[in-house]
Structure 1
Amino acid sequence: MDARAHADQWLAGWEARDLDRVMACYSDDVDFAASTVVTRWNRPDGRLRGKAELRRHFERGMELAPDLRFTEEAFLTNPDGYALLYRRENGNRALDVVELDQHGRAARVRAFYEQDQR
């Protein structure tokens, strides 16, 4: 899967609120870091490892934001993956920097937020 197809699948999964579809975008041993990990799980390094932890994190996000929506603003690529700038339903902008593995799944993700996000 190429970077654009990966981002499209990820966005479509969130739009459909289909967590299985979203999780199919990630490698089994994904390394994910975001400030939301600090606030939701009290992990000072902001990191989650593996699909099980990430799934729990996203489930919590869906609970906190039942009207969750992402609107793409910019898509940038490099040989290893992409960066996706999007606006949330609450007006907050986020930037996800995604490194893809050899199977086209997200192996390393760093999420950045314009404003504090729960």
Structure 2
Amino acid sequence: MNSEQAKALTESWVAAWNAHDLPRILSHYSDDFEMTSPYIVQITGDASGTLRGKAAVGAYWQKALEKFPDLQFESQHVLYSPGSVTLIYRSNRSGLAAEVFFVNDDDKIFKAVAHYLA
């Protein structure tokens, strides 16, 4: 992962979310994708806060997109390292957030961890 790849990935990711285009959102992820978020704990009650598999995460996100039809993200900063990207963004629903994306050799996200202000 280099600077250009990190910027391209995050720009495409933000655009897909802002379009509320679930297939486009999911195109960034591997089939065995794993997502961890405190919102998963709140919504599902699963204390691990983790969903596994593109289908499970997609179903969860579909509900979120339906519940928040005005959801929008604004990229603030992109940080990168070999094999991962951190996107710091602002959401009109949850405020400031950071997501760490772990990226495989096919440039697909296989693991993501979302962080929100305490």
Shared fold (TM-score greater than 0.5)? yes
**Percent identity, aligned pairs only?**
30
Residues of 2 paired with 1:55 and 1:75: CA distance?
24
Match of 2:70 in 1: 67
- Which region of structure 1 is more displaced relative to structure 2, 58-67 or 39-48? 58-67
Q: Which residue of 73, 77, 95 corresponds with 2:98?
A: 95
How much does 1:91 deviate?
5.5
Residues of 2 paired with 1:37 and 1:65: CA distance?
15
Q: Name stretches of at least 5 consecutive residues in structure 2 with no aligned partner.
A: none
Match of 1:113 in 2: 116
CA contact 1:6–1:105 (8 Å) conserved in 2? no
Q: How many residues are paired up? A: 115
| Shift in CA distance, 67/50, structure 1 to aligned 2, threshold 3 Å | same
CA contact 1:3–1:104 (8 Å) conserved in 2? no
Q: Secondary structure at the match of 1:6?
A: helix
Residues of 2 paired with 1:59 and 1:22: CA distance?
10
Residues of 2 paired with 1:76 and 1:25: CA distance?
17
Match of 2:49 in 1: 46
Q: Residue type matched to 1:108 in 2?
A: K
Residues of 1 paired with 2:78 and 2:63: CA distance?
26
- Which region of structure 1 is more displaced relative to structure 2, 39-48 or 3-12? 3-12
- Which region of structure 1 is more displaced relative to structure 2, 85-94 or 12-21? 85-94
Root-mean-square deviation (CA, aligned residues, Å) is 1.4
Q: Secondary structure at the match of 1:31?
A: strand
Q: Residue type matched to 1:102 in 2?
A: D
Runs of at least 4 residues off by over 3 Å: none
Residues of 1 paired with 2:35 and 2:46: CA distance?
12
